[in-house]
Amino acid sequence: MPRPVTLFTGQWADLPFETMCEKAKSFGYDGVEIGCWGDHLDVLQAAGDKKYAATRKAIAKKHGLEVFAISNHLVGQCVCDNIDARHQAILPERLWGDGDIEGVRRRCAEEMKLTAQAAKNVGVKVVNGFTGSSIWHLLYSFPPVPPAMIEAGYADFGKRWRPILNHFDKLGINFALEVHPTEIAFDIASAERALKAVRNHRRFGFNYDPSHFVYQNVDYVKFIRRFADRIFHAHMKDAYLSPTLTEVGVFGGHVDFGDHRRAWDFRSLGRGSVDFEEIIRALNDVGYQGPLSVEWEDGKMDREHGAREACHFVRGLDFKPSAIAFDAQFDKKKQPGKKGAKKTAKKR
């Protein structure tokens, strides 16, 4: 069967979870990837109350959907980040507390451990999310950045995330980092360093999302092949990169998404610059059989129109890999009727 086509609920957190499921089914989806904010999934409650956790699948099932993964990007971001007022806006008060930087990081690390338990109670095997990064602000090298500062950032990531991953391992849950600017891994080279920093922990892999590679000029098909055994989940998301010179470059120019001057922006699937045909072929080559989860973002399109359109786009694009070699059929031994033809000839 083709891979299930799912919808990430994160961008729909203004709607009750049941309403979201009802809409997702009407758009044509097979299931959902649940974001851990809004009322879609309360991590603390799901980790401690199996009955509540079971309601997530029950609500989805009521609307003919399955739950394939949960995602806790917002809390994961705060484990390694340089914490400031932006993070208060995305965290529950119990995690923000008094805003002490190290306190926020520690509380969020413990919450990520609880997220693994929540996933187990919900009945899924993958938690998608972010990690944050203490060195993202050092991306552009001026004043010159000593290599030791970058090494220290990866060491900090490894120190903070290995205990979280060990807890995931005890519960049989995988953590899938969405490789993304502002994270410890944002392209192929940094993803390799991130893996090394956690000592190739078997529970650490990636939530593949091509939209964050295309505007960086990163080979998003090569990423699949390079990390074939680490693709734990896949987002289907598009981004447009202008083929001509623009007023605002790839760093974003401190202007909002949707500004026509930008060199790139997120777009509804099939309307951007990502070559999804090559992605499907690469996913087939590496044997990925998980969901194709639509993360829908397009600041200039009605989201219900876009989510419905995106579902049909992905469903029409996906296909099973071939079980045969097409040129093997030239072998006469594999062609029907040959043995019978020989017998007839002998009788004559």
pLDDT in tens, 201-245: 999 999 999 999 999 999 999 999 999 999 999 999 999 999 999
What's the pLDDT at 335?
81
Has residue 43 got a pLDDT over 50?
A: yes
Contacts of 77 (CB under 8 A, 6+ apart): 87, 90, 129, 130, 131, 132, 182, 183
| Whole-number average pLDDT of the chain | 95
Has residue 341 got a pLDDT over 50?
A: no
For the domain 5-347, what is the CATH superfamily, name and number?
Divalent-metal-dependent TIM barrel enzymes (3.20.20.150)
Has residue 334 got a pLDDT over 80?
A: no
Q: With beta carbons less than 8 A apart as the criterion, state whether 113 and 162 touch.
A: no
Task: Tell me how far apart the alpha carbons of residues 203 and 116 are, in angstroms, rounded to a whole number.
Answer: 11
Task: Give me the mean pLDDT over the 71-91 stretch.
Answer: 98
What's the pLDDT at 332?
79
Has residue 288 got a pLDDT over 90?
A: yes
Task: Tell me how far apart the alpha carbons of residues 31 and 242 are, in angstroms, rounded to a whole number.
Answer: 33
Backbone angles phi, psi at 51, to 5 degrees: -65, -45
Q: Which of 95, 47, 98 is nearest to 70 (CA)?
A: 47
- Least confident window among 79-83, 269-273, 334-338: 334-338
- pLDDT category of residue 1 using cuts at 50, 70 and 90: low
What's the pLDDT at 348?
45
Has residue 347 got a pLDDT over 70?
A: no
Task: Give me the mean pLDDT over the 260-272 stretch.
Answer: 98
What's the pLDDT at 344?
46
Has residue 345 got a pLDDT over 50?
A: no
Strand 264-267 and strand 238-241: the pairing is antiparallel
What's the pLDDT at 328?
73
What's the pLDDT at 299?
96
Instruction: Give tens-digit pLDDT for 171-213.
Output: 999 999 999 999 999 999 999 999 999 999 999 999 999 999 9
**What is the share, in percent, of the chain residues with pLDDT greater than 70?**
97
Question: Cis ω on the peptide bond leading into residue 143 (within 30° of 0)?
Answer: yes
Q: How far is CA 87 from CA 84, 110, 164, 330, in A?
A: 6, 16, 20, 62
Has residue 283 got a pLDDT over 80?
A: yes
